[in-house]
Structure 1
Amino acid sequence: MEQFIAGANAIMWSLPMVFGLLALGLYFTIRMGAPQLRRIPDMIGQLVRGGSSSAGISSFQAFAMALGGRIGVGNIAGVATAISLGGPGALFWMWVTALLGAPVALAESSLAQLYKHKVRGEYRGGPAYYILEGLGRNWRWLAVAYAAATVFATVITGPQIQANAVTAATTQAWGWDPLWVGLAMAVLFCVIVFGGMHRLARTVGLVVPFMAAAYIIVGVVVVALMWQQVPAMFGLIFSSAFAADSVYAGMLGAAISWGVRRAVYSTEIGTGSGAQASAAAHVSHPVKQGLAQAFSAFVDTLFVCTVTGLMILSTNSFNVLGPDEETLLVERVPGIEAGPAWVQTAVDSVIPAFGPAFVAVAVFLFSFTTLLSFAFYAETNLAYLIPNKSVQRACIAVARLGLAASMVFGAVQTSTLVWSFADFGVGLYTWVNILALVLLSPVAIRLMKDYDRQRRAGQDPVLDPRAIGVRNATLWEQIHDEYERTGDVTAALDHVADTAPDTRAISVVRPHGERGQG
């Protein structure tokens, strides 16, 4: 099994596949007019404005839920493994992925909003929904493949690495038994997720901002105290990113591959995960939520991952393996495995007796919010796959318990094994979603242009899907019709949220939707 997973990962994360993701980001950047730069004020403004409803959550709650999924062990252990296997230059390629990936996050989240449905009284959506609604019944197999792969990854493979990182950090800090830590996390997780989506949104919304801010502040303090090392550190990052440094000659491919791989795992750009949270948001135009989610890519990588990388590099708390992933090129922390322990060592070297405990708490919060988001993503895709409501509820309950069991299992495994499984799970649904984004790129670009047109006219954008030639966006047709009747967009959104009947994507695709929108 381990050999099969390793072989599959080598294919899914090969350089041609990695460059394909970057090329898609560059394409959206050009066709959308670099929204990740010119629409930054709108990104921030959308997080402040916007409300929630009986069927949906606020933009900030959806942003926080997606950010909770993005800010996880990838921001600590993931950055460490990227440096270990790709050298310091891997951090540069993480930045590139975030910059080019932001329009991809915008596109997938806008599409999720466009083709969302009301399921069990709450808004649901994501790649499985927009594949079928946007491309038509002939692509149903791709939608089912995405939904099944996401359930597998969020219930089985993903939780293992989250719990494993927590146990590694708590063992380093306090010597706690991994099994008991895993069991305690599983119990706390079940208490929260069985409370429903709105409780989940509130919990994540409260924890994520505090979690990210505290970690960034400590990281800035550590780097500031090591200010004399900063110029040389940035020089090393840029030189090794292109294998110009003699020590890292021959590692260009590794730097790119591991930088992009860990950035994708951390930000979930291109995976469609954040899009599932976006579909639940209460907004007047799909691009509004797309912009909010694009901003989460910046927060995740340009802030949180960068802070981790700078702490590790400025304090020389890292080792680097050669291209064969066995020979040590650099050994600065002998005997310490790449992961949270590197960050604990980094902080402890500057602020003695503080690092191990602080990082252990940060890893727990990062990981736990990711696990809560995993529960939401699994539920969204099970709601898509299973039409019968009673069976659906039973399967969702089983999935939540299975996710908790995966946490306990991963808590006592080796980090190498669980990272391999995590990469496999993410790779499965990422490449399905990228294919869908390529096919639906004309629709995403049309949405962005419609938003820009209304903003240039001084309007608060409200979507009329029929005006831009988009079909199968049933909820948005109802919202616009109600807005035309009342002239009040907030009232229109609330009315549709309260009165629209439950639907299911697979049952409402109209005959003329066969050809899709591309």
Structure 2
Amino acid sequence: MEFLESFFGLIGDLTWGASLIPFLVIFGCFFTIVTGFVQFRYFKRMFRVLKKTNQTDNHKAISGREALLLSIGGRVGGGNIAGVAVAITLGGPGAVFWMWAIALVGMATSLVECTLAQLYKRRDGHEFRGGAARSIIHGLGENYRWLATVYSVCLIASFALGFNAFQGNTVAGAAQDSLGIDRIYTAIFLAVIVGFIIYGGIKRIAKSADVIVPIMAVGYVAIAVVVILMNITHIPQVISDIVANAFGIKTAVSGGMGAAIAQGLRRGLFSNEAGLGSAPNVAATADVPHPVSQGIAQSLSVFIDTMVVCSCTAFIILLGNVYVPGAEGIDGIVLTQQSMVAHLGSWAQYYLTAAILLFSFSSVVYNYYLGENALTFMTQKSWPVHILRLAVIAIVFIGAIAPGATAVFFFSDPLMGVLAVINLLALIMLFPTAMRLLQDYRKQLKEGVEEPVFNPEEFADLDIDHTAWKS
């Protein structure tokens, strides 16, 4: 076991600890500049998908809205509550600024990877499957199948297994601490509900997200807005502190500006997942008229995750008196919980527990689907999927009932670093194709087309499933 921990620790150091974050930032800036700041140019168009329940006549398929909300449900999780608190504790208020910065450039990265996933998606009955692994195999060729397989294995191990154990642990811990509910009851509840949804397939998964995510996001944002309005006169000072600490004008914690940058970028990337290749698995399920349409929509999920939800947590903490810059002892979800209680009273801890339940539950369902999609890339047989479903239900249960069991999944973060490295390499090699799609989209808009439509015949040189682009 010590050897394995050392091995995965080395992988983590070689990815997250050394070069990965700078690469994600550099590539995000590159995609932003070369695409002509596409995430800002089409910002208004991002919200169009929220108004549409289904953009085609195929009512059995997943709509762009459902795919977007499922993606938001996956990105928005415990990291938006606990992770932001850790970033502020270790990096000071300035970490929030760098979280915003990485989200803005990450929106371009997400657009590129999700557009490619849409392009190379494959029809599976009335549904579609795609993602980084399929983009690699159909975009780069059979010679790269080994790379796509490594990616799929890492995706299953980190998201479907490892992160779901942590999500179960988070929910059970919050319910026990604030409501006094024994972990066994939370574990049973989670296992039953998760089993019901994941055995319903992607359509039921998407439908559940269509209901849960708006309630989850709107409810949490609403409570943050109340806190902000209660402290509206302090907002200018908080924003000033965020900017001053971000650039080292003021020092809130040891490490100064360097700590702010490191924590802000790290937590921002962990939260919004831009560049990891995880969200494209969900983006590919949508039945949309053009690949870029869903790419633009998926940029919105990065914006909502970091610029909206993470900012809500940051203001709840920074507008309160619980957080003391440089002090140790209170961090993570406890800091967010105590800050909310200080603002609104003891009832707020129950509200936060409900938010954690919804955040974590949506993440569990999303994580499972990533694993299922990766598994179907490696095998067309149905029995491995049933084994994965049973394994996820069991892991969520064990993670909830035995918090110490989550230590077994120490490999999750290092493997997520491997996912990012593989995905970034593929994105760079496939970026010219993404630009062709973007140029086609822009051309149609200039010609007055309200909603550009993809014509696979114009991309005959690419390995595209033409049946996936028929209404």
Class of the TM-score when normalised by the shorter of the 2 chains: over 0.9
Question: What root-mean-square deviation, in Å, do the aligned CA atoms of Structure 1 and Structure 2 show?
Answer: 2.2
- The 3-state SS of whatever aligns with 1:270 is coil
Which moves more between the two structures, 237-246 or 88-97? 237-246
Q: Does 2:336 correspond to 1:346?
A: no
2:337/2:352 contact within 8 Å kept: yes
Q: Does 2:425 correspond to 1:435?
A: yes
TM-score, normalised via structure 1 length: 0.85
Which moves more between the two structures, 467-476 or 271-280? 467-476
Q: Does 2:94 correspond to 1:89?
A: yes
Judged with a 3 Å threshold, the aligned counterparts in structure 2 of structure 1 residues 19 and 474 are, in CA distance, closer, same or farther, namely same
Judged with a 3 Å threshold, the aligned counterparts in structure 2 of structure 1 residues 251 and 181 are, in CA distance, closer, same or farther, namely farther
Q: CA deviation at 1:161?
A: 2.1
Judged with a 3 Å threshold, the aligned counterparts in structure 2 of structure 1 residues 403 and 344 are, in CA distance, closer, same or farther, namely same
Query: What is the identity, as a one-letter code, of the residue corresponding to 1:24?
Result: F
1:148/1:381 contact within 8 Å kept: yes
Query: What is the identity, as a one-letter code, of the residue corresponding to 1:473?
Result: I
> Residue 474 of structure 1: which of 442, 465, 470 is its match?
465
Q: CA deviation at 1:418?
A: 8.2
Judged with a 3 Å threshold, the aligned counterparts in structure 2 of structure 1 residues 414 and 36 are, in CA distance, closer, same or farther, namely farther
Distance 2:405 2:100 in 1: 25
1:450/1:468 contact within 8 Å kept: no
Residues 55-104 of structure 1: CA deviation (Å, up to 9, x unaligned): 62100000011111111111111111222222222211111111000011
Distance 1:456 1:444 in 2: 19
Judged with a 3 Å threshold, the aligned counterparts in structure 2 of structure 1 residues 5 and 179 are, in CA distance, closer, same or farther, namely farther
Q: Does 2:332 correspond to 1:330?
A: no
Aligned counterpart, 2:231: 226
Distance 1:473 1:190 in 2: 34
Q: CA deviation at 1:108?
A: 0.8
Q: CA deviation at 1:348?
A: 0.9
Distance 1:418 1:461 in 2: 48
Distance 1:418 1:35 in 2: 41
Q: CA deviation at 1:25?
A: 1.1
1:52/1:281 contact within 8 Å kept: no
Q: Does 2:151 correspond to 1:160?
A: no
1:55/1:118 contact within 8 Å kept: no
Any residues of structure 2 matched to 1:67-466 within 5 Å, and which?
A: 67-119=72-124, 121-248=126-253, 250-318=255-323, 329-331=326-328, 335-336=329-330, 338-387=331-380, 389=381, 393-411=382-400, 412-413=402-403, 417=407, 421-459=411-449, 460-466=451-457
Which moves more between the two structures, 77-86 or 98-107? 77-86
- The 3-state SS of whatever aligns with 1:208 is helix
Aligned length: 464
- The 3-state SS of whatever aligns with 1:472 is coil
Distance 1:19 1:282 in 2: 34
> Residue 62 of structure 2: which of 54, 57, 60 is its match?
57
Query: What is the identity, as a one-letter code, of the residue corresponding to 1:370?
Result: S
Q: Does 2:26 correspond to 1:23?
A: yes
Q: CA deviation at 1:4?
A: 4.2
2:66/2:207 contact within 8 Å kept: yes
Distance 1:454 1:149 in 2: 38
2:276/2:419 contact within 8 Å kept: yes
Query: What is the identity, as a one-letter code, of the residue corresponding to 1:318?
Result: Y
Q: CA deviation at 1:185?
A: 1.0
Q: CA deviation at 1:209?
A: 0.9
Distance 1:302 1:174 in 2: 30
Distance 2:323 2:422 in 1: 34
Q: CA deviation at 1:10?
A: 2.7
Distance 2:90 2:398 in 1: 26
In the alignment, structure 1 segments of 5+ residues that lack a partner are 321-328, 480-491, 494-518
Query: What is the identity, as a one-letter code, of the residue corresponding to 2:36?
Result: G
Distance 1:273 1:285 in 2: 20
- The 3-state SS of whatever aligns with 1:246 is coil
Query: What is the identity, as a one-letter code, of the residue corresponding to 1:452?
Result: R
> Residue 41 of structure 1: which of 28, 41, 44 is its match?
44
1:14/1:257 contact within 8 Å kept: no
